[in-house]
Every structure is written in structure tokens, then in C-alpha cells.
Amino acid sequence: MLELATISVIEARKVAAKSIAQRINASLRLQAYGDFSDVRLESENAEFWTFVSGSQAWFNDGGAPAALFVSVSKADAHILTRDEVEDFYKKVFTFA
């Protein structure tokens, strides 16, 4: 059964922006790339939104994808771990 989002995409973007800012502030390497773009919605599915913020300087330095991605749960607004995202896609793309 499809669960309805308990938060709006606008609220989720705020959660993502805070998470991305914390990641940048915690990393001297990321801080060295200067300004990152505004956080924007990259994709959406039934369970979460994925947001992205990129750095032109990081890209110019050979970074690929030169961006930070954050997925926010529609159910409870938590930041998904890499394992949670992978588990979701494993369920979606299980081939018989």
C-alpha cells in the first residue's frame, strides 16, 4: 500500500539543505570548493525525495559527479542511509 507523505517537498528540501550544509561544514576538502549551488529536487519516488547541490569548482577539479546528494523519507523526514536507498532500489528492480 502506498503511504502518503507526512511532510511536504518544501519541508523535505529544508531537511536536505541542512544535511548538505552540515556535510560541507564538517569537511575541509568540501569547504575548499567554495560555494555549492542551491539545493534542488533531483528525483522522487514513492518512498523518498532525492535532493542535490553541486560545485562548479569541484567539477573543474575533476570531481564526478561534483555534487552532494541527500534522500529524505516521505514517511518521517529522516535522511536515508546509503543502505536504505540501495535496499529500496533492490526491491524495485528485482528481476525474476
Per-residue pLDDT at 5: 67
- Residue-level length of the chain: 96
Neighbour-count burial for 2-24, b at 16+ CB within 10 Å, e otherwise:
eeebebeeeebbbbbbebbeeeb
pLDDT in tens, the chain (96 residues): 455 568 999 999 999 999 999 999 999 999 999 999 999 999 999 999 999 999 999 999 999 999 999 999 999 999 999 999 999 999 888 765
**CA dist., res. 16 & res. 18, Å (int):** 5
